[in-house]
Amino acid sequence: MTTDRQPKANERRHDRLAMYRAMRDSVPGLDAMYWVMSALVASYAEARARVLIVGAGGGREIEKLLQNNIAVEITAVDPSARNLETARLAAEACPSKSNVTFIAGKAEDLPRGSSFDVATSLLVMHHISDDGAKLAYLRSIRDRLVPGGLLIHADVCVARVEDFDHLIPAYRKYAQHVGTCPDATRLELEAIAQLPVASDERTRALFSEAGLIEPQEVFRTLWYRCWISKRNPP
């Protein structure tokens, strides 16, 4: 019985990883954001730097860091054990075997004594309500960065619903051009429409309140943006 279940479990893990990749590839240039993240870590962090990956579930950050053979110590956290298993699968598929620790939980669950040189928060905060929870989320990351530590942050970011709607036809055309499966396209659009997204102005205000320096935009495609910031010195 156990032997029969294991192949099916592995198949489901691979299916989830494949869907993550299909959704990423359906957005023009989005994969490049992860290469930008990897280059930023490589240019900023010294050898054996400590990197915190918040919301590591898709495994995309780990995948890019390991593919580039960046010698860092990675702590990958995600509240979903199932999603974290997908990240573990992505790590296992990479030839590089950097030090990766997987923790089922949130950044706030890590001891306050934890200190990281770099933290990534890619496509996480847009899932969190702006009722104090977004601010608490950013503060939980700030508290675990060394003074001057780098934060690489990406979110869905539009000022108005109309801005999202105007981009949908271009998204559909691109997804069709690259042969994205209809399920991935549907999931992407359904998910985005339901997110409590913040505008660029609101994102910058949250960073300031959280004790992070003014973010600098380093990447944009369709409704996705990526910024870098640092923890304010004491």
How far is residue 127's CA from residue 90's CA, in Å, rounded to a whole number? 22
CATH code assigned at 81 = 3.40.50.150
What is the CB neighbour count within 10 angstroms for residue 184? Answer: 19
Q: What is the DSSP string of 54-102?
A: ES-TT-HHHHHHHHTT--EEEEEEES-HHHHHHHHHHHHTSS---EEEE
Domain assignment of residue 28, given as a range: 2-230
Q: Which of 79-83, 111-115, 212-216 has the highest mean pLDDT?
A: 212-216
Q: Is the pLDDT of residue 119 over 90?
A: yes
Q: Is the pLDDT of residue 9 over 70?
A: no
Eight-state DSSP code of residue 234:
-
CB of 62 closer than 8 Å to CB of 90: yes
Buried b (16+ CB within 10 A) or exposed e, 35-48: ebbbebbeebbeee
Q: Determine contact, residues 156/197, Cβ cutoff 8 Å.
A: yes
**How many structural domains does the chain have?**
1
> Per residue in 151-167, pLDDT tens?
999 999 999 889 999 99
pLDDT of residue 97 exceeding 80, the answer is no
| Average pLDDT for the chain | 91
pLDDT in tens, 49-96: 999 999 998 899 999 999 888 878 999 999 999 999 989 988 988 887
- Percent of the chain at pLDDT > 90 equals 74
Strand 145-156, strand 116-122: pairing: parallel
pTM of the model: 0.91
- Closest by CA to 178, choosing from 36, 23, 60, is 23
Alpha helices in the chain (DSSP H): 2-25, 30-44, 60-67, 81-92, 133-142, 161-177, 182-193, 200-209
- pLDDT confidence tier of residue 6, bands split at 50, 70 and 90: low
8-to-1, 81, 89, 130 alpha-carbon distances in Å: 11, 18, 15, 39
Q: Is residue 150 within 8 Å of residue 183, measured between CB atoms?
A: no
Q: What's the confidence (pLDDT) of residue 200?
A: 97
Q: Give pLDDT, residue 1.
A: 44
CA distance 115 to 147: 9
Q: pLDDT band at 18, cuts 50/70/90?
A: confident
Pairwise CA distance, residues 169 & 108, whole Å: 39
| DSSP secondary structure code for residue 27 in this structure | S
Is it the case that residue 2 has pLDDT exceeding 90? no
